[in-house]
Amino acid sequence: MLVSKPPMGWNSWNTFAWKVNEQIIMETADALVATGLKDAGYEYVVIDDEWAERKRDANGRLVPDAGKFPHGIKYLADYVHSLGLKFGMYSCAGIKTCADYPGSFDHEFVDAETFAEWGVDFLKYDYCYFPTNADPRARYNRMSMALKATGRDILFSACNWGNDMVEEWIRSTGAHMYRSTGDIGERFSAIANIAKSQYGMWRYAGPGCYNDMDMLVCGMDGEGFVGHPGLCGDTEYKTHFALWCMAGSPLMMGNDIRKMRKEVLELVTNKDLLKINADPKCHAPIVMYVHTPDQPTLFKHLSDNTFALGFFNFTDGKGGADLRPWDMGLPTTAGFGLRLREVFTGEVVDYVDDYFKVSLDAHDCKIYLGEYVAKQK
């Protein structure tokens, strides 16, 4: 299987957008290795929109911007591969890309061949300028077939922003991940709203085809194209990353890795959270809340007969979330309960079988790994 867990890597858009160039990609690839992110599983280096010339060449092929990529794309792919990483590119199912560069509509097979010749391992496939009378299912399936026809293993990242009831049909196209939301920004309201929009959607994801809630904004620190100074700090990044891991979303970082702070690096390489994210069965979390979806509790079965439990506070003030085991099917008469360990503090809760509540600061969370234990007589 090409993809056995939610893909992990880095995408250029959130920080660099139109400023992306050869030097940035090479330095970012170097930083993935030097920081230990590669060893933690972050393996894809992906160039997003605005990498091409405005027109195709005389043979109908996409052409990289010579000013941004003077040595061409294959040169970059070879460099990324030399570091033991994988290389990704961007195109669009529409007539043009979102930034008005040539799209792949009616050029799917020639573009797939071009990407394969360059050594591409990952294709993000966007949805701007898509003709209203065209069939998105057929077009995403066409690009999937085109990629497979090249004979090269290329991860297909479908990105139609959750439109057209994509969750119901995208797996049948052979896509490996699919965007189920609009674009993220470095605002906690955007993070929380994306999560809440997915409460009923996570069940559609599964091994081999993952629900992509968009790129991470952890560590942007107010910089870059989608950065918003002062709106997110380490607490917001913590909750953001924990949510994406609980949901089994792909983990594609969007910050400037070359100057990543120690606190952010420790967060995105947290072994417990990555274990939850990469669980091979990719069970959707059970969502529970009593009064408001802004203070949810998420319960996630893991494949080794353990579980993950997340408590979240999306509000702007102090709050809390609770666990009522009977709401997820565990009665107090079952003869067993739950032992919990909080992944950030190491706090241990020896036994829960009836009720458990946590207090949380604004925008904060607590994440527990747990196991089932027999009730002591």
Indicate which residues carry an active-site annotation: 126, 183
Nearest-angstrom CA–CA distance, 261 and 313: 25
268 CB-near residues (< 8 Å, 6+ apart): 37, 40, 42, 216, 218, 219, 241, 251, 253
CB 158 within 8 A of CB 179: yes
Torsion of CA 322, 323, 324, 330, to 10 degrees: 180
Return the H-helix or E-strand segment holding 111.
helix 108-118
d(Cα 360, Cα 245) in Å, to the nearest integer?
19
Q: Between the CA atoms of 96, 97, 101 and 107, what dihedral angle is there, to the nearest 10 degrees? A: -60
CA-wise closest residue to 9 among 216, 167, 232, 315: 216
Residue 73 to residue 63: CA distance in whole angstroms: 9
d(CA 286, CA 136): 30
CB atoms within 10 A of CB 228: 16
Residues written for the chain: 377
DSSP state of 375: P
Q: What per-residue string of b and e applies to 156-170 under the rule 16 or more CB within 10 Å gives b?
A: bbbbbbbebebbebb
Amino acid (1-letter code) at residue 1:
M
First-to-last C-alpha distance (Å) of the chain? 47
How many CB atoms sit inside 10 A of residue 41's CB? 17
